[in-house]
Chain A
Amino acid sequence: MKYFLYWGCSLEASGANYLKSLKPVCKKLGIEFEEIEDWNCCGASVSYVGAKDFTIKVLNARNLALAEKTASYDIVAPCSSCYVQMNRANHEIQENESIRNLINNILAKAGLEYNGTLRVRHIQDILFNDVGIKRIRDAVIKPLNGLKVAGYVGCQSVRPYGEYDSVERPKVQDKIIEALGAEPVKFPKKMQCCGSGIFFPEMELCLGLVKDILEDAISHGAKIISTICPMCAMNLEMYQTRINKIYGTHIEIPVVYLTQLIAVAFGMDLKKEAVLHMNFIPPEYVMKHIR
């Protein structure tokens, strides 16, 4: 199984623990990755303020063209924003001939062309549909017995297309959590947005969103939260102290990437492969507790 991996800007910085845990986990599952040569930013969730939607599509078309030039693999985007922006541009180019022509005229300025032959997919889609739950379960060496995990889905990894999971009642992440031997908890705010790209400029309002999500997960029994998006991870994990200060709450719950949980269950090195030391709220004690 070979794919392009379009990891995007966040996974080189605040989401570094996502990329670092994703690579060994995928390798173990027989997935090979190739980087898109000289990729650019996808525009993420705040670029709409500074440009028309058309310009954002061109941003993504460049990456698609660079990939198509090299091979015909599906493109895997672990970041939800990268996934949604690239997927949106791809659909538009595939389905709308006049947009395709307009975009290709612009790509031609950089000697590029995109014919719409590729597919853009989220990493959860690959794990669930291409690898499959059985193979993930078979690779588990140290099952996370009894660990109560809130699998937080958020927004853009399933909305708007719902190509591999329901847009209202997603199950994929919970099934992967189950395959690791852990127990996915049900919590109503699983799909409520954390503030995403406008979290920083509208922090006061978005802290309220995050507080509601965290309290919901905790009150439904979760001991740890897993995410599949660098913005969700950052927003849910980084601001817990600030929330406690403002709201007088006592929230403290580790937030890890799903790939970090998988790495632990696969018996990988907690430091080198699961990179748990990169998380702000140490998740190790929760993990040790279950062993």
Chain B
Amino acid sequence: MVIDAMLQYNSTVAIDIFKDVEFVEEIKKCIQCGMCAGSCPLKHHMDYPPRKIFALLRAGKKATILKSKSIFLCTSCYSCKVRCPRGIPVMDIMHSLAYYATKLSMESSKNTSTFGKVFWKQIYKRGRIDEKALLREYLFSNGFIQGLKNTLDMADMGLIMLLHGRMKLLPEGKLKSLKEFKVMLEEAENVGESI
């Protein structure tokens, strides 16, 4: 399949298809050495490790990439980015693809994308993350019954955290200037779309 992808390689086509993906023009530099894949902690669980994703990018295989579970398995450990002999920001491209797939609702697994969305909801709501509210919202993201099951499964851990003073019952603080903060973020999203 990689050979197939290389045969179809036309960087103009690929970059045009993925023009909304940040840093995508950097794939032109890729020499398919596999250092990124070799350095990735979750490589064994990926359908297409970063090197293959790049080959698919060049071939313009949009659906295959955006439905791949690999793009949601980046732990942001920066190993691929640090080691890439061509200086490609591998991690940032994987991140952008995950964002793009989420935006188009093409994710194969909703785990990380839901977590990311709930995370942003917290940022918008209070400017900071309240860990327990974040986890609660994530656990209940598939309905109330599933939420209860999930919560029971994690209950022992919640209790341990409470008992050790590493979780409070009361909500965490909010930003004082939350209103201006939100205005700023909305503007950032608008500007970001046009870059």
Interface membership of B35, Cβ < 8 A = no
B 45-77 binary contact with A (CB < 8 Å = 1; else 0): 100000000000000000000000000111111
For the complex, what is the distance from the CA of A9 to the CA of B180, rounded to whole Å? 20
A13 touches B98 (CB 8 A): no
A193-219 to B contact mask, C-beta < 8 Å, 1/0: 111111111100110010000000000
Mask, B100-123, CB within 8 Å of A = 1, is 001000000001111111011011
Contacts of B177 in A (CB 8 A): 38, 110
Nearest-CB residue, chain A, relative to B98? A49
A159 touches B187 (CB 8 A): no
Interface membership of B176, Cβ < 8 A = yes
Check if A52 is an interface residue, CB within 8 A of chain B: yes
Q: Are B116 and A50 within 8 A (Cβ)? A: yes
Chain B residues, Cβ within 8 Å of A154: 77
A139 touches B (CB below 8 Å):
no
Cα separation A48 to B95 with both chains bound (whole Å): 6
Known: A9-B128, A38-B175. A109 touches B79 (CB 8 A): no
| Chain-B contact segment, one of A53-61, A69-77, A120-128, A178-186 | A53-61
A interface residues, tally (CB under 8 Å): 64
Is B102's CB under 8 angstroms from A49's CB? yes
Name the residue on B nearest A102 (C-beta). Answer: B191
Q: Give the CA-CA distance A206 to B92 in the complex, in Å.
A: 21
- Interface hits, A117-141 → B, CB 8 Å: none
CB pair B185 A46 closer than 8 Å:
no
Q: Are A195 and B119 in contact (CB under 8 A)?
A: no
Q: Are B72 and A49 in contact (CB under 8 A)?
A: yes
CB–CB A53/B96 < 8 A: yes
A50: which of B75, B79, B102 is its contact (CB, 8 Å)? B102
Q: What secondary structure prevails in chain B residues at the interface with A?
A: helix
With both chains docked as a complex, state the minimum distance between the C-beta of A58 and any C-beta of chain B, in angstroms.
4
* Assembly CA distance A109 to B55 (angstroms): 42
Point out the residues of chain B lying under 8 angstroms from A106, CB to CB: 184, 187-188, 191
* B130 at the A interface (CB under 8 A): yes
- In the complex, A45 Cα to B181 Cα: how many Å? 20
Count contacts on B: residues with CB < 8 A to the other chain. Answer: 65
Q: In the bound complex, what is the Cα–Cα distance between A110 and B179 (angstroms)?
A: 9
Measured CB to CB, the closest approach of chain B to A112, in angstroms, equals 8
Chain B residues with CB under 8 A of A55: 185, 188-189, 192
The reply on B29 being an interface residue by CB < 8 A is: no
A10 within 8 A of B: yes
Q: How far is the CA of A43 from the CA of B164 in the complex (A)?
A: 26
Contact residues in B for A12 (Cβ distance below 8 Å): 172-173
Are A201 and B114 in contact, with the CB atoms below 8 A?
A: yes
Q: Interface on B for A, CB 8 Å cutoff?
A: 22-23, 41-42, 45, 72-79, 81-82, 92, 95-96, 98-99, 102, 111-117, 119-120, 122-123, 127-132, 135, 138, 157, 160-161, 164-168, 172-173, 175-177, 180-181, 183-185, 187-189, 191-193, 195
